[in-house]
Structure 1
Amino acid sequence: MSVRTNWTPSAAPYPPARRSDVSTTYASQKHGQVTVPEPYDWLEVPPSQSPETDAWTKAQAAYTKAFLDGCGDKEVLKERLEKNWDYVRASAPSHKHDGRYYYSYNAGLAPQSQIYRATREQIDAYDGGKEPVGELFFDTNVLSSDGTVALSLTAFSHTGKYVAYGLSVSGSDWVKLYVRSTEAPLTSNDGTEGGAGRLPDVLENVKFSTAEWTHDDQGFFYQRYPPVAHADRGTETDANKDAELYYHRLGTPQSEDICVISKDIDLPSSMWHPTVTDDGRWVLLENSKDTDTKQRFYLAQLEGKSLDQLAWIPIVTDFAYTLSYIGNEGNRFYFTTNKDASNYRVVALDVDPQHAEQTAHVATLRGRHDDFSDVIPEDPKAILTAAKLVDQNKLLVLYSRDVKDELWLYTLDGTRVERLLPELVGTIGQLAGLPTDRETFVLSVSFANPGTVHRLSWEGMPQAKVAAPSVSVYSTTHVAGIRPDDYTSTQVFVTSKDGTQIPMFLTHPKSMPRDGTAPALVYFYGGFNIPLNPTFSPSMMTWVASYGGILAFVNARGGGEYGDKWHEAGMLFHKQNVFDDVMAATQYLHEERYAAKGKITIMGGSNGGLGVAAVANQCEEQHGIGAAIADVGVHDMLKFPLWTIGKAWCADYGNPQEDGAAFDYNYAYSPLHNVSATKTYPTMVLACADHDDRVVPAHSFKLAAELQHQRKDNPNPLLLRVELQAGHGAGKSTQKRIDEASDKFAIVARTLGLKLRPSSAL
């Protein structure tokens, strides 16, 4: 499809990119050795370290801005996005041991959300209004003038006396940990790093970590990496390896922290994830080697033990399955697991402390002590996604059935009581409450509703009796420009290339005629066992409202929508299934007259960005794709293991650096290495960020350069958008999100000739 605009590539040639004669030779299972050209290897050096990369990215930014200057819808879209983003966003209240309830809150357009807290009396008196209940406890916005400092983690000590918190800058995965008393709220700042009134503790080189307090309030476990040499954290590409687990004692310098688990010499990619049990007697240790959910798992008693000489009980030592802690009664532990259950189950394990062993490193332990017994057996037709201990002797169990959430109440011995919130059609995003609380708050969302919090209460009921709780709506959220009653959401099933039925959610105005004239926005992910559940997106719903379009969520294989088997069907040497699923979905949309052929935009981020670029390479005229938006995508499927955390993705992608079969398979679909010199590409927007140290921007830089070189005469624009002072997505300020969405959707509207609906029609 040709671009519907006065732009032409001959009149507006792309900024030139030098092509080098560098190449890399890989081992191939099929061909012995294959030499791969690397003409844009120099773009792997970040702009902060290379004047040449910096100059090229600035030229690309100027080119994209010039194109945007001709996009008539941009300012109107920005105004509508600001209106539709200007709604109260709040999490469910989370009870802490200081007796207060904490929750995140954003009045609408604040760069970063704040944390408020309230007493039980204030929670009980809340009438569902827009104003926050209680008092402001932590305002991240006072830490930077431009919203580039984000709160990435919080961890309250057992008594609630202290909170450890992690701050990231410009979207980087690197965080600094600080500590403050909960009696010293952060509501203003005098320029102090980490916020005025904090304690002197500062912990650096922290990444992919929690802060797990011991119950004496003396300190917490955390993970850290060796220091990096680059001053501008987040722009480096160095591989993340040699993580270690430390214990920080409050009031001492980081140099005195206790090394609990040193780096794993045999497995440098190891990461350590501690959990202190609800009773404070044990520390549980998950050890992951990559993004696969399978892990090694150990337990150690804490009482009277030196933290650098803990005796560990090996539960599983060979990355065979996953365990997720629910709770424990003494030495009896409850977990969710996929051991012998691809749809997951709840199990109990009686732990014998005599199995504990002291060792120089837990990775050297062998054997298993995993004699599990079923509490809730696997459901062959639904995925058990979470279980929470509530009211001391009850379990709230969350299932996903055909990508729709169900909440069930069970006894601790596994007896099913009844389904709760049966009218809910959407996604449950939060179950908040302490195991000893007699109530739980449940946050749910849907495509047209950004959030409803229900309150489940067993107050006044006998503790021993397992009965359904009373249910009330605590709060609900409204968006000025999106009226849920004006939209409908349905689920359809699409037949993919190999005959597999792929679920897809469709959301559109009830007034939209099914005559094949509407534009469509198709969003997908398809990887890492992560399900794509119904959720509310103010940007996507603004697009739907503005163009009378249809939003399609494709539950492509590779995700976790149907358990491990669905994941495995879209990973490693089955990755092509993901792309086939999406192309089948876009073809279905226009053949079934939901959308207009050629007015279909595909969109995805990170692993989904990889999918977008791969589909753009492979799609044909019958798929009806007119535009493709790839956010922070993984596009070099040969070199990704070399940068930052990329080695961890080998669980899903294989390792083409070391495995000839993985090289052959990845080389055949890698977006960077499969750009066609002859096909007509849809409009493409490759979006990335300069401080993305998850998927380094070199992926998008190199693909943009290759596309613009091979298809310099493509009738549709091939654009690169680089966000400054931002990362992979987490912690991005509200304004940056609005600017980015208005840019991308304005480009699509211009090139596809979409007609903006007047505000009176919204």
Structure 2
Amino acid sequence: MRLGRWILACAASALVMTGAAAQAGAETSGTGKDFSFLDDIHGAKALGWVRAQNHHTTSTLEKDKRYAGFYKSTLAVLQAPDRLALPSLLGGDIWNFWQDAQHPHGIWRETTQSSYLAKNPKWETRLDVDALAAKEHMNWVFKEANCLAPDDEHCLIVLSNGGEDADTLREFNTKTGQFVPNGFQFSRSKQTAAWVDQNTVLLTRDWDGKGETLTPSGYPFVVKKIVRGAAPGQEVEVYRGEKSDMMVAPTVLTDGAGHKLVLIQRSVTFFENHYAIVEGDKLRWLPLPAKTELHGLLKGRLVLSVEEDWHPQGLPVVPAGSLVSVDPAAPDQSVEVIFTPGPSQSIDEVGVTKNTVLVSLFDNVRGRAMRFTEMQRGRPWDGDALDLPDMTSIHIVDTDHASDTAYLSVEGYLEPQQLWMVEKDAAPRKIKSAPARFKTANLKTEQFWAQSPDGTRVPYFVVHRRNMKLDGQNPTLLTAYGGFQVSYTPTYAPEIGKLWLERGGVYVVANIRGGGEFGPAWHEAGRKSGRQNVYDDFAAVGQDLVTRKITTPRHLGIRGRSNGGLLAGVQMVQHPHMWNAVIIGVPLLDMEHFETMSAGASWADEYGSMSVPEEAKFLKRISPVHHLKAEVTYPTPFIFTATSDDRVGPVHARRFAARLESMGKPFYYYEDIEGGHSGTVNAPEVAHERALEAVYLSHRLMDAH
């Protein structure tokens, strides 16, 4: 997993805003009205404003006669008992985290590999998070289990209150199915742990509770060693990064041959990392490119990808985007290239088994998978393409270091998720498949290309009815992400199928620059001041939809979350007449102050910094909250966020809505009082928010005006 994805998925961040950000609330209205109270995230006055906005939105949209049906059908697919139970390989058995109507917080359960292959596996519940939440009067969200290989008996369970990024760690024994009495336990913090052995953990966190060991991004930068039974204060410092770093974290890699590497990862910026091997009480820094991602350990050698051209000493240049194997004793003198993607390809995920390396990749944004085996040290690796369905996304669910077993998931816009098993040299075989959640017989998926203003060709997928008329009257929802080298690829989304496609809507996904669909260069073209390419690509796809007479601005809406929420906000202010609906989710919107808001400082390597004049000039030019104008007519947006989002934070969305309010412009605003950056934390809340969106889109794009 790329560092950016890891941070967007699970890292912690600060709640408190300081400096310029704390003063900016009063500036956002542009009318003299003071909205600075909205910066106090959990303040009574701010939450009063939030509840008033929520009431307006819900009371308006829930009155629509379609709301109840939208909610019911969405909840049904989210809680369907025949969903796929995706496997996690621990200690030779299969583990799975499961949520349903009876277990909204979820259960962590176990079965054997042979039982898992049966139609109805015999599961044994090991941890009931609902019972734990009720007992402790906490809104616990199970995030992951960090287990000590190879036995996977001792695990640190990662729990979050209400879905925030800050979490609590507790030691759990998978053999007894109980939390370990007097075991390792680390209170709520922004933290990362790594097992050294059964009695030793490396941990990075907010050590003093005052933020002195946190970077400006809100992440910890001091790693300490904790020995079982040691009294508080007896931790031994292993490494202290710089206050100016983005973050520092420990990690441990193991392989099926018994090798182990304990490492420190120092992330100077979002994309630049340095790695050191912990050798006793010393660190040995590895001579690797700054833009490197570690994937695993195979027969004692590191498997990694390089995101920039690498010039190892006395060896040929390794092109950016390549997957390589190196000897950790001398990485720059032992490079073996496993795979270098072609011009239309990019590596998505990498998994390491006992003897093989599995790669999921994209070729013109179509999912592929390959298996690589080292034939002889120093010789080219043998790679074979796995026979899997086309026009899909292929993800590596899990791999087994003790064998060559791996599980892959396959899904497409119209293809429900399938689970495929890969073993040794055998061809992959489909072992499970989720049932269809919406009618697809009359639907099809096509891929088109638009041309951006600078001549770059941008691909996009269109899912629509087979008998769609090219008359410009089709209600169309366009979405994209365009950032952090994250690829936006075919996904089976039952709520889109039930609430949009079945009802005649057209669904479009644009693979714009800034993502990872075509490797590091595609991302680099949309980074920092090049980000206008991202916004131009998206607008070009919107215009192409109109040119092809699939839709018109009257029937065209857009949606984005997080970085995609910024995308949607920029499109709303840069091209207000191109769209009739704009959904802006958990967004960044105040780009003049984002570095001092929540975890914003960590993203300067992606967006640029206000401390750099040229980058500041660009950020000021595109900051959505600062470019709303009273004289411009905008489409009425639907803005949603979460109070407990301690990654982006709700203040971006609040400021944008407050500026609209001060101008007397209509909008819908919904802020989930609980739930972190990933949004709502259980199926009923998710169904509620999705149903509100569906009513909004129906009204804006389908209903007559």
Q: Into which bin does the TM-score normalised by the smaller protein fall?
A: 0.7 to 0.9
Q: What whole-Å deviation, never above 9, does each CA across 1:620-651 have from its counterpart, x for those lacking one?
A: 53x3x110000010011011111221101101
Q: Note the 1:741-752 alignment, pairs <5 A.
A: 741-752=690-701
Structure 1 residues 173, 447: CA separation in 2 closer, same or farther (over 3 Å shift)?
same
- Tell me the residue number matched to 1:430: 396
SS of the counterpart of 2:286?
strand
Distance in 1 (CA, whole Å) between partners of 2:254 and 2:413 is: 36
SS of the counterpart of 2:438?
coil
- Tell me the residue number matched to 2:107: 114
Give the drift of 1:246: 2.9
Distance in 1 (CA, whole Å) between partners of 2:442 and 2:236 is: 58
Q: Note the 1:11-50 alignment, pairs <5 A.
A: 40=34, 42-48=36-42, 50=43
1:257 aligns with 2:235: yes
- Tell me the residue number matched to 2:453: 497
Structure 1 residues 588, 54: CA separation in 2 closer, same or farther (over 3 Å shift)?
same
Distance in 1 (CA, whole Å) between partners of 2:44 and 2:99 is: 39
SS of the counterpart of 1:325?
strand
Preserved contact between residue 22 and residue 39 of structure 2 (Cα < 8 Å): no
Q: Mean Cα displacement is larger for which, 151-160 or 137-146?
A: 137-146
Distance in 1 (CA, whole Å) between partners of 2:177 and 2:22 is: 57
Among candidates 358, 361, 365, match of residue 403 of structure 1: 365
Preserved contact between residue 489 and residue 507 of structure 1 (Cα < 8 Å): yes
1:225 aligns with 2:177: no
Structure 1 residues 138, 596: CA separation in 2 closer, same or farther (over 3 Å shift)?
farther
Q: Note the 1:240-389 alignment, pairs <5 A.
A: 240-252=218-230, 255-265=233-243, 267-278=244-255, 279-292=258-271, 294-301=272-279, 305=280, 309-316=281-288, 320-330=290-300, 332-340=301-309, 343-352=320-329, 370-381=332-343, 382-389=345-352
Distance in 1 (CA, whole Å) between partners of 2:65 and 2:36 is: 36
Q: What whole-Å deviation, never above 9, does each CA across 1:41-69 have from its counterpart, x for those lacking one?
A: 61453242x33323322222222233224
Preserved contact between residue 243 and residue 270 of structure 1 (Cα < 8 Å): yes
One-letter code of the match for 2:591?
A: M
Query: Considering only CA atoms, is the larger Rg found in Structure 1 or Structure 2?
Result: 1
Among candidates 134, 140, 145, match of residue 149 of structure 1: 140
CA RMSD of aligned residues (A): 3.0
Among candidates 573, 586, 589, match of residue 529 of structure 2: 573
Q: Mean Cα displacement is larger for which, 487-496 or 735-744?
A: 487-496
Distance in 2 (CA, whole Å) between partners of 1:239 and 1:553 is: 31
One-letter code of the match for 1:580?
A: D
Among candidates 155, 160, 182, match of residue 163 of structure 1: 155
Percent sequence identity is 20
SS of the counterpart of 2:637?
strand
Q: Note the 1:200-211 alignment, pairs <5 A.
A: 200-207=183-190, 209=192, 211=193
Distance in 2 (CA, whole Å) between partners of 1:522 and 1:198 is: 52
Q: Note the 1:592-603 alignment, pairs <5 A.
A: 592-603=548-559
Give the drift of 1:176: 0.3
- Tell me the residue number matched to 2:11: none
Preserved contact between residue 24 and residue 38 of structure 1 (Cα < 8 Å): no
- Tell me the residue number matched to 1:631: 585
- Tell me the residue number matched to 1:521: 477
Structure 1 residues 39, 408: CA separation in 2 closer, same or farther (over 3 Å shift)?
same
- Tell me the residue number matched to 2:15: none
Distance in 1 (CA, whole Å) between partners of 2:698 and 2:587 is: 22
Q: Mean Cα displacement is larger for which, 176-185 or 243-252?
A: 243-252
Among candidates 654, 662, 678, match of residue 729 of structure 1: 678
Preserved contact between residue 141 and residue 159 of structure 2 (Cα < 8 Å): yes
Give the drift of 1:252: 4.5
Q: Note the 1:529-548 alignment, pairs <5 A.
A: 529-548=485-504
Structure 1 residues 516, 177: CA separation in 2 closer, same or farther (over 3 Å shift)?
same
Preserved contact between residue 360 and residue 395 of structure 2 (Cα < 8 Å): no
- Tell me the residue number matched to 1:655: 609
Distance in 1 (CA, whole Å) between partners of 2:103 and 2:562 is: 26
Among candidates 180, 201, 204, match of residue 172 of structure 2: 180
Preserved contact between residue 343 and residue 562 of structure 1 (Cα < 8 Å): no
- Tell me the residue number matched to 1:212: 194
Give the drift of 1:247: 3.1
Preserved contact between residue 175 and residue 205 of structure 1 (Cα < 8 Å): yes
Give the drift of 1:674: 0.4
Preserved contact between residue 85 and residue 108 of structure 1 (Cα < 8 Å): no
Q: What whole-Å deviation, never above 9, does each CA across 1:135-181 have from its counterpart, x for those lacking one?
A: 22233233335994211121122212222111001121100000111
Distance in 2 (CA, whole Å) between partners of 1:106 and 1:646 is: 32
Distance in 1 (CA, whole Å) between partners of 2:209 and 2:668 is: 32
Structure 1 residues 147, 516: CA separation in 2 closer, same or farther (over 3 Å shift)?
farther
Preserved contact between residue 349 and residue 396 of structure 2 (Cα < 8 Å): no
Preserved contact between residue 208 and residue 223 of structure 1 (Cα < 8 Å): yes
SS of the counterpart of 1:560?
coil
Distance in 1 (CA, whole Å) between partners of 2:246 and 2:407 is: 37
SS of the counterpart of 1:89?
coil
Distance in 2 (CA, whole Å) between partners of 1:153 and 1:427 is: 23
Q: What whole-Å deviation, never above 9, does each CA across 1:503-544 have from its counterpart, x for those lacking one?
A: 111122335444332211111111111111211223222222
Structure 1 residues 395, 751: CA separation in 2 closer, same or farther (over 3 Å shift)?
closer
1:51 aligns with 2:44: yes
SS of the counterpart of 1:311?
strand
One-letter code of the match for 1:151?
A: F
Structure 1 residues 373, 688: CA separation in 2 closer, same or farther (over 3 Å shift)?
same
Distance in 1 (CA, whole Å) between partners of 2:506 and 2:390 is: 22
SS of the counterpart of 1:585?
helix
Distance in 1 (CA, whole Å) between partners of 2:648 and 2:239 is: 27
Among candidates 426, 432, 435, match of residue 475 of structure 1: 432
Structure 1 residues 160, 264: CA separation in 2 closer, same or farther (over 3 Å shift)?
same
Distance in 2 (CA, whole Å) between partners of 1:218 and 1:419 is: 42
Distance in 1 (CA, whole Å) between partners of 2:321 and 2:48 is: 51
Distance in 2 (CA, whole Å) between partners of 1:651 and 1:425 is: 33
- Tell me the residue number matched to 1:139: 128
Structure 1 residues 221, 229: CA separation in 2 closer, same or farther (over 3 Å shift)?
closer
Structure 1 residues 473, 105: CA separation in 2 closer, same or farther (over 3 Å shift)?
farther
Preserved contact between residue 440 and residue 457 of structure 1 (Cα < 8 Å): yes
Q: Note the 1:65-84 alignment, pairs <5 A.
A: 65-84=58-77
Structure 1 residues 703, 478: CA separation in 2 closer, same or farther (over 3 Å shift)?
same
The size of the alignment, in residue pairs, is 661
One-letter code of the match for 1:701?
A: R
SS of the counterpart of 2:554?
coil
One-letter code of the match for 1:181?
A: N
Structure 2, gaps ≥5 residues long: 1-20, 310-317
Distance in 2 (CA, whole Å) between partners of 1:663 and 1:315 is: 33
Distance in 2 (CA, whole Å) between partners of 1:537 and 1:397 is: 24
One-letter code of the match for 1:56?
A: W
Structure 1 residues 261, 538: CA separation in 2 closer, same or farther (over 3 Å shift)?
farther
Structure 1 residues 662, 651: CA separation in 2 closer, same or farther (over 3 Å shift)?
same
Structure 1 residues 665, 438: CA separation in 2 closer, same or farther (over 3 Å shift)?
closer
Q: TM-score, normalised by structure 1?
A: 0.80
One-letter code of the match for 1:520?
A: T
Structure 1 residues 503, 142: CA separation in 2 closer, same or farther (over 3 Å shift)?
farther
Distance in 1 (CA, whole Å) between partners of 2:467 and 2:181 is: 54
Preserved contact between residue 237 and residue 644 of structure 1 (Cα < 8 Å): no
Structure 1 residues 40, 686: CA separation in 2 closer, same or farther (over 3 Å shift)?
farther
Distance in 1 (CA, whole Å) between partners of 2:32 and 2:294 is: 43
SS of the counterpart of 1:385?
strand
Give the drift of 1:70: 3.8
